């Protein structure tokens, strides 16, 4: 199985391990091709990781050769407390010397989210013109198995062509922009970060059972050639390890 499962005592230990693994991926990518591209996850789980990268690793990383994208975004102003960009700004971007041009937020100020999705896809296609996409994709998982803003039974799950779609999520804020499996699954490495007791049931279903991606969208994250690594804390892994 190309998938790897790493288990940690708690979110702090998990975050430190992911930070070290990302740092190694950054060094390797920059050494090989002079840049590193990453799609960040939203939600709460990754904020500790982002802060570790912005502090412990701040002066070790060549931020001028790192490009930061977003796996999804809530369709709210970037100043809104629900914005993934705002969370990332506070925990990472405001603390590191990364050039403005290297940060690629999803615009949320177009009256029509469809326009924002088309624009972002254009930006991604400028960066990725071959068979591969990101060096690293970071993703979380909701307790019902969604990832990014790919929710159960969404039409976005069966999109075969587009890389970015506007969606209506069954949670607030409902309007969102999400990247699709078409670009996620072309990444070189995908790191799935899941922590907390409230996710252990779904982790059990997703990892132990041959669950369907319409029911558990995170199951649709199947990198074509890249690595997939689960980072679980003990609470989330309690049913499987």
* Contact footprint for ligand 6PG (CB under 6 A): 41-45, 71-72, 84, 140-142, 146-149
- Nearest to ligand 6PG of 36, 50 (CB atom): 50
Residue 204's contacts (CB-CB under 8 Å, 6 or more residues apart) are 239, 240
The rounded distance, in Å, linking the Cα atoms of 91 and 84 is: 11
- Nearest to ligand 6PG of 114, 198 (CB atom): 198
The rounded distance, in Å, linking the Cα atoms of 91 and 88 is: 5
| 123-to-120, 131, 229 alpha-carbon distances in Å | 5, 16, 27
In the complex, what is the shortest distance from the CB of residue 31 to ligand 6PG, in angstroms, rounded to a whole number?
Answer: 30
In the complex, what is the shortest distance from the CB of residue 196 to ligand 6PG, in angstroms, rounded to a whole number?
Answer: 7
In the complex, what is the shortest distance from the CB of residue 156 to ligand 6PG, in angstroms, rounded to a whole number?
Answer: 13
- Nearest to ligand 6PG of 113, 142 (CB atom): 142
The phi, psi pair for 37, rounded to 5°, reads -120, 140
- Nearest to ligand 6PG of 27, 104 (CB atom): 104
In the complex, what is the shortest distance from the CB of residue 42 to ligand 6PG, in angstroms, rounded to a whole number?
Answer: 3
- Nearest to ligand 6PG of 63, 191 (CB atom): 191
Dihedral in degrees, nearest 10, Cα atoms 101, 223, 172, 232: -100
In the complex, what is the shortest distance from the CB of residue 149 to ligand 6PG, in angstroms, rounded to a whole number?
Answer: 6
The strand pairing partners of 179, in sequence order, are: 164
Residue 189's contacts (CB-CB under 8 Å, 6 or more residues apart) are 25, 135, 136, 137, 223, 226, 227, 228, 229
Helical H segments across 34-73, by residue range: 47-55
């Amino acid at each position: 199985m190309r998938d790897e499962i790493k288990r940690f005592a708690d979110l702090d230990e998990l975050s430190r391990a992911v930070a070290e693994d990302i740092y190694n991926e950054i060094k390797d990518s920059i050494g090989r091709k002079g840049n590193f591209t990453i799609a960040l996850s939203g939600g709460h789980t990754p904020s500790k990781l982002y802060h570790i990268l912005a502090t412990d690793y701040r002066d070790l990383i060549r931020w001028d050769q790192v490009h930061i994208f977003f796996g999804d975004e809530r369709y709210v102003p970037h100043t809104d407390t629900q914005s993934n960009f705002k969370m990332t700004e506070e925990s990472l971007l405001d603390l590191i010397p990364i050039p403005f041009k290297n940060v690629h937020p999803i615009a949320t100020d177009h009256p029509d989210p469809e326009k924002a999705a088309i624009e972002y896809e254009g930006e991604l296609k400028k960066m990725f013109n071959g068979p591969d996409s990101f060096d690293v994709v970071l993703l979380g998982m909701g307790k019902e198995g969604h990832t990014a803003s790919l929710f159960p039974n969404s039409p976005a799950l069966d999109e075969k062509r587009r890389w970015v779609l506007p969606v209506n999520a069954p949670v607030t804020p409902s309007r969102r922009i999400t990247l699709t499996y078409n670009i996620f699954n072309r990444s070189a490495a995908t790191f799935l970060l899941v922590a907390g007791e409230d996710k252990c049931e779904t982790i059990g279903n997703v990892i132990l059972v041959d669950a369907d991606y319409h029911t558990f969208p995170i199951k649709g994250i199947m990198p074509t050639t890249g690595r997939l690594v689960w980072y679980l804390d003990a609470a989330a892994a309690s049913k499987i390890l």
